[in-house]
Structure 1
Amino acid sequence: MAAQEIRLKSTVGGFTANGRLHSLSVWFILALRLMMGIAFFQSGIDKVLSGSFSAAGYLQNAPPSNGSPVADLFVAMGQTPWFVDFVNIAVPWGELFIGLGLLFGAFSRLAAFWGAFMMLMFYLGNWSVSHGYINGDFAYMLVFLSVAAFGAGRIMGLDAYIEQYEVGGTPLIERYPWMRYLLG
């Protein structure tokens, strides 16, 4: 079977980018989704099962010690008891559900958005620019955004089926177009 070429074109802020994808690119997009799914699922399940995750020390100490430009924000978060309680639940369970969403390709854009948000927070909290502004946290954030942009949940994932689920004889994604922001 001959490989196909897929053309892309996007204009943002008056700038247009053109490109061509090889049909084998789909496997790499799937690999990125699964890689991040495994990483987040494993991280989340470890925290949930240990039952001892606490963000307070990290929030109050890590960002100031590494020179984060938003250290004061992290310290304030770490000194707010209700917020620490929220983070102590949101991080482990968020990682777990983001991981599951990506592994099964269900609500992939939603999972990837929250994964990118978490990686942005980790990037700012784990601030280290001694080797440049691009580190693993930043790179993972871009991987999450790529997974969302490519609609990776449609590639051997449940999103392809969820989108076509009929509601009143109309596919879900046609009846509720806003669902495109959650699925794919």
Structure 2
Amino acid sequence: MTNNEVTLPSTIGGLTASGKLHTLSVWFILALRLMMGIAFFQSGFEKVVGGGFSAGGYLTGATVANGSPVADLFVAMGETAWFVSFVNVAVPWGEVLIGLGLLVGALTRLAAFWGAFMMLMFYLGNWDVGHGYINGDFAYMLVFLSVAAFGAGRIFGLDTYVEQYDIDGRPLVERYPWSRYLLG
């Protein structure tokens, strides 16, 4: 191992993968976190400030028109008034909060999880496999998952400080190990 590389092994389901990360990887993970933070904050901010965002037509029409395998689910959601009202608030404000979380590196894993979930829903809603199953929505979902997996909030982010916050003489993440799923 050279001074510029770190070995990163991982085992899932009995299968171990190992790779060497270059120290420059940190900068690329930071760039991905900030890119997605800007994109989501901007998208949400425009919806909040512009007003008039409504998901009803999208939910009932887009998935049917594009042949999404979950079209019936989206139509059912779009025909449920309380759910459409919820989505009309959750999407714009969710994008704003996810974007802010990523930009400042706070609750990064939580923000990245919800960002990935939103991108999965957009992927299913914007279904278009004419050029293959991988599109921008799918790629962004993987970017969010990478940001979470690499603990990007610890790179020039507030999560570094929150994780070490002292509670009765112990860092927060030691006292509450479950918080590692939200921070980082």
Q: Aligned partners of 2:109 and 2:143: how far apart in 1?
A: 12
Match of 2:30 in 1: 30
Q: Aligned partners of 1:166 and 1:82: how far apart in 2?
A: 42
State how 1:63-74 maps to structure 2 within 5 Å.
63-74=63-74
2:101 maps to a residue whose letter is: G
SS at the partner of 2:11?
strand
SS at the partner of 1:129?
coil
Deviation at 1:4, TM superposition (A): 2.1
Q: Aligned partners of 2:60 and 2:73: how far apart in 1?
A: 9
SS at the partner of 1:18?
strand
Match of 2:7 in 1: 7
Q: Aligned partners of 1:166 and 1:128: how far apart in 2?
A: 49
Match of 1:56 in 2: 56
Q: Aligned partners of 1:6 and 1:44: how far apart in 2?
A: 37
Deviations 1:96-125 (A, max 9, x none): 000000000000000000000000000000
Cα RMSD, aligned residues only: 0.9
Match of 1:141 in 2: 141
Match of 1:162 in 2: 162
Which TM-score applies when normalising by structure 2?
0.98
1:135 maps to a residue whose letter is: N
Match of 2:132 in 1: 132
SS at the partner of 1:16?
strand
Match of 1:150 in 2: 150
Q: Greater shift after overlay, 162-171 or 131-140?
A: 162-171
Q: Aligned partners of 1:14 and 1:107: how far apart in 2?
A: 30
Q: Aligned partners of 2:128 and 2:51: how far apart in 1?
A: 29
Match of 2:171 in 1: 171
Provide the aligned length of Structure 1 versus Structure 2.
183
Q: Aligned partners of 2:127 and 2:91: how far apart in 1?
A: 18
SS at the partner of 2:128?
coil
Deviations 1:39-81 (A, max 9, x none): 0000000000011100000000000000000000000000000
Unaligned runs of 5+ in 2: none
Q: Aligned partners of 1:46 and 1:27: how far apart in 2?
A: 28
1:92 maps to a residue whose letter is: P
SS at the partner of 2:20?
strand
Unaligned runs of 5+ in 1: none
Contact (CA 8 Å) 1:44, 1:93: kept in 2 or not?
yes
1:62 maps to a residue whose letter is: A
State how 1:85-100 maps to structure 2 within 5 Å.
85-100=85-100
Q: Greater shift after overlay, 138-147 or 10-19?
A: 10-19
Q: Aligned partners of 2:124 and 2:62: how far apart in 1?
A: 10
Q: Aligned partners of 2:128 and 2:17: how far apart in 1?
A: 31
